[in-house]
Amino acid sequence: MTDAILNGLGALFEGVRFMLAHGGPNLIMIAVAGVMFWLAIAKGVEPLLLLPIAFGCLMVNLPLSEVMQADGVLKTLYDFGIGNELFPLLIFVGIGSMTDFTPLLANPRLLLFGAAGQLGIFITLLLALALGFSKEAAVSVAAIGACDGPTVIYVSNMFAGMDRIPTAMVGALAVAAYSYMALVPVIQPPIMRLLTTRKEREVKMPSPKGKISKTALIAFPIVVTIITGVIAPKGLPLMGMIMLGNFMKVSGVVPRLANAAENEIANIATLFLGLAIGGTMAGPQFLTRETLMVFGLGLVAITIDTVGGILLGKIWYLLSGGKVNPLVGAAGISAYPMAARLVQNEGQRWNKHNYLLMHAMGANTGGQIGSVMAAAIMLSLLKGLGII
Amino acid sequence: MNNVVFGLTMLVVGMGGTLATLFLITLVIHALAAFFPVRPDAKEAGK
């Protein structure tokens, strides 16, 4: 009887014993979860994603946790929606439904900023290869330059599913991507000021005059889906889902579906995706040299994206005889609408009568299309090269 | 394929492909605006 009671009590403290004996990495990750809670709650850094990611991270790092074992709750969520890339795609439907392409259609040339804003992806890919990452891992890290969490998860998880990169790396990539997206207001302004002169920053741009018909707005998502499907079919799920969300919104005939995509579907997918990604952050697998390098390269990627956009803006400034404000180029990334607002604020800081918002919104939506297109082209290239 | 060739291929074809595809989309947007111009609404047309 006494033995049974002692054994029972021993079982209750098994977790504590495990933590004391082998729990170093888990304790570090619990502290990381605490930092993410603080960032999300006290600092408002991407709380929609960081909060569930941090909670998943906490749960998986508690001693003897079974949440990521077969049939564990987080493993079930992972297999249900991350392992097959479903959750990122559902979030994309919501993003499409929240996006207004009108400023871009009013001034289509702004789409080119969305291409320049992807320079970070390809330069980071070279850097990651030089640092010894495998081809698949380098592509996954480079995808952080898309400034787009779902794209990063979609691309990296595809490789994790093929056992080309460790599953824990998906968590590191997702956290890096969302953290840097949240840090865009900190990262971009110094680069904007460093690369432009005061005269360039003060350039006033008149409001776009082109008006867009409803038919053109409805046709746009259909046409972009077709072009992506023909040129880069591996990326069709990504672009198709964004354009589906936008199509439902602009068609005006399915407001319930558009609202559901923007709210319920995106919210549920975000919660499950965050928890499942947090579940991949188990200390022993997560705390590696590669994880640190992922965070370093992610910062490089987003910095070079901004540099690429501003440099194109400077070229445009010269070619237009000083009519284009190069700051608009910084909005050519996928962080929507944060990057556009930053450009507006920075422009007004140097010239109070400057209203760059509509141009920046056009470049920003161009960045959204550009980031997905870059990922789609990378995946199709990998298929063409026989790597996937 | 070694990493240098792979990386440069991705840089040139990937960045070039992204730029070219987005340029194609700008042309398509111009075409959409030309095919589906904004029509003055009935009230304005009646004035």
- Taking only the tens place, the pLDDT of each residue in A55-96 is 999 999 998 889 999 889 999 999 998 888 899 899 999 999
pLDDT digits (tens, 9 = 90+) for A324-372: 999 999 999 988 888 999 999 999 999 888 899 999 999 999 999 999 9
Report d(CA A57, CA A78) in Å as an integer: 13
Measured between CA atoms, how close is A253 to chain B, in angstroms? Answer: 19
Measured between CA atoms, how close is B47 to chain A, in angstroms? Answer: 20
Task: Find the residue in A nearest to B8 (Cα).
Answer: A126
Report d(CA A86, CA A101) in Å as an integer: 25
The complex scores an ipTM of: 0.87
Among residues A42, A153, A160, A175, the alpha carbon closest in space to that of A89 is found at: A153
Give yes or no for residue A223 having a pLDDT over 90. yes
pLDDT digits (tens, 9 = 90+) for A180-213: 887 888 899 999 999 999 999 999 998 877 788 9
User: Which whole number is the average pLDDT over B22-47?
Assistant: 80
Report d(CA B24, CA B28) in Å as an integer: 6
The model carries a pTM of 0.86
A203: helix, strand or coil:
coil
Tell me the average pLDDT of chain A.
Answer: 90
Check if A220 contacts B (Cβ < 8 Å): yes
> What phi and psi, each to the nearest 5 degrees, are found at residue A107?
-145, 75
Measured between CA atoms, how close is A182 to chain B, in angstroms? Answer: 25
Report d(CA A224, CA A265) in Å as an integer: 23
Which of A13-27, A139-153, A258-272 shows the lowest mean pLDDT across its residues?
A13-27
Task: Find the residue in B nearest to A211 (Cα).
Answer: B38
The CA-based diameter of chain A, rounded to the nearest angstrom, is: 92
Check if A213 contacts B (Cβ < 8 Å): yes
